[in-house]
Structure 1
Amino acid sequence: MKFSLRVFAALAPLLLAACATTPSLVRNKGDAAAIAQQEAREKALANADHWVLQGKLGIYNAQDGVSGPFTWTQDGNHYEFVFRLPISGKSYRLTGGPDGAELDGAEGGPQYGPDAESLMRRALHWEVPLDELRAWVLGLRAQGAQADLSFGNDRLPSVLVQDGWTVSYPAWDTTRQPPLPSKVFAEKAPYKVRLAVESWSLQ
């Protein structure tokens, strides 16, 4: 699907979504207080692996793009990710865990793969680092690859560079303790993922 004004219009709410947050766009390496606050956040959220997250998601590259509402249910190492495209009415359901992934909604019926990332890449031509997003959506560094973390004036993460992706956090929900991101923008040229959180149910 060619990128069009309709797609831009659909993506616009991701950039304009109202959040009870203060933007955090300043990028610095962080003082001792910011680093200590992040270490406390990481400790508090280290075992956060049960949640229901709802919001809007945009996925695009230099030519094509899709956007729509999503629901992400994480149950330990297993997940269910439902993504709907309001313009076409099409929906996708991605489920899986350590033993592999299944995608419903793609042409040709259900498709299977060893992991979510490779399955979406093959079936839909989408580049979404879902494994890393499991940590990034919490404002945490994913395990494995080295990470470069910068902070805003609120001493919350502002930019995270990891595994070739640049992840920015334009807004945080500071009504929660510890605070959680309400917007997560990930980019690895030419791919971009835009996630706006509307509700969290974090157990």
Structure 2
Amino acid sequence: MTRSLPLITLVALLAGCATQAPGPNGTRHVGDWKNQQTTLDELDTWKLAGKVGLRAPDTHQSANLDWTQQASHYRLLLTGPFGAGRTVLDGQPGQVTLTNGDGEFSAPTPEALMQERLGWSLPVSSLDHWIKARPAPGSESHIERDDLGFPATLSQAGWVITYKRWTLVDGLWLPGRITMTQGDIRAVLVVTNWQPGASP
């Protein structure tokens, strides 16, 4: 397996999932975040498009991303300047598969797939929560909020997730830019198109 595939795998896994400037299609107000908590709790299906960037030891990469989520099943399509064409990450509890021009590779979890190919991993299984600016269940977390009550930073599992832009879609405020850092690893996801509730 070539060196480029692990790098592609890593960025694809960052899909994936944003102090605080108003979104382009609305102005946030005090109470907006609190009032949408029930809707966020129930949101488990979406499509989004955006760009991902990764800075890690010995690499600095970026690509376009299309992410489809339906309950616990996700499909990430990565395209961009890596020279690998099309890379698809398809996952659900207990099974993750990466497919591209070099073949198909599987592991029980995205973290295991990264550990196998890279020797280290990211908490990819938390991203479907972090993309909604919510802590993932199962570990302690700390949230710092801005003056309007929206999350500004979320700290969990040794990671600091920063939310720097918000967008209003179907009456729901969702992150538009997320930065995740731990040590010398920094990952950025910029969402250009949110479709909450969209079916695959």
Q: TM-score range by the shorter chain?
A: 0.7 to 0.9
User: What is the correspondence of 1:73-92 to structure 2 with a 5 Å cutoff?
Assistant: 73-92=68-87
Encode CA deviations 1:63-92: one digit per residue, 9 max, x unaligned: 212111001100111110111232525332
Query: Shift in Å at residue 127 of structure 1?
Result: 4.0
Distance in 2 (alpha carbons) for counterparts of 1:181 and 1:21: 13
User: What is the correspondence of 1:154-169 to structure 2 with a 5 Å cutoff?
Assistant: 154-169=148-163
Query: Aligned pair in 2 of structure 1 residues 66, 90: CA closer, same or farther (>3 Å)?
Result: farther
Query: Shift in Å at residue 155 of structure 1?
Result: 2.0
Query: Aligned pair in 2 of structure 1 residues 139, 20: CA closer, same or farther (>3 Å)?
Result: same
The counterpart of 1:59, out of the listed 54, 69, 91, is: 54
Q: Secondary structure at the match of 2:36?
A: helix
What is the RMSD of the two structures over their aligned residues, measured on CA atoms? 2.8
Aligned length: 177
Determine if the alignment matches structure 1 residue 179 to structure 2 residue 173. yes
Determine if the alignment matches structure 1 residue 139 to structure 2 residue 143. no
Q: Secondary structure at the match of 1:20?
A: coil
Question: Does structure 2 conserve the Cα–Cα contact (< 8 Å) formed by 1:167 and 1:184?
Answer: yes
Encode CA deviations 1:110-135: one digit per residue, 9 max, x unaligned: 11100112213423567443211111
Q: Secondary structure at the match of 1:179?
A: strand
Question: Does structure 1 conserve the Cα–Cα contact (< 8 Å) formed by 2:54 and 2:62?
Answer: yes
Query: Could you say which residue in structure 1 is the equivalent of 2:92?
Result: 97
Query: Shift in Å at residue 156 of structure 1?
Result: 0.8
Which stretches in structure 2 are left out of the alignment for 5+ residues? 5-22
What is the TM-score normalised by the length of structure 2? 0.77
Query: Aligned pair in 2 of structure 1 residues 106, 168: CA closer, same or farther (>3 Å)?
Result: farther
Encode CA deviations 1:39-75: one digit per residue, 9 max, x unaligned: 5433221121111111000122132121110011001
Identity over aligned pairs, percent: 24
What is the TM-score normalised by the length of structure 1? 0.76
Distance in 2 (alpha carbons) for counterparts of 1:78 and 1:111: 17
- Structure 2 residue identity aligned to 1:185: T
Question: Does structure 2 conserve the Cα–Cα contact (< 8 Å) formed by 1:49 and 1:75?
Answer: yes
Query: Could you say which residue in structure 1 is the equivalent of 2:164?
Result: 170
More off after superposition, 84-93 vs 97-106: 84-93
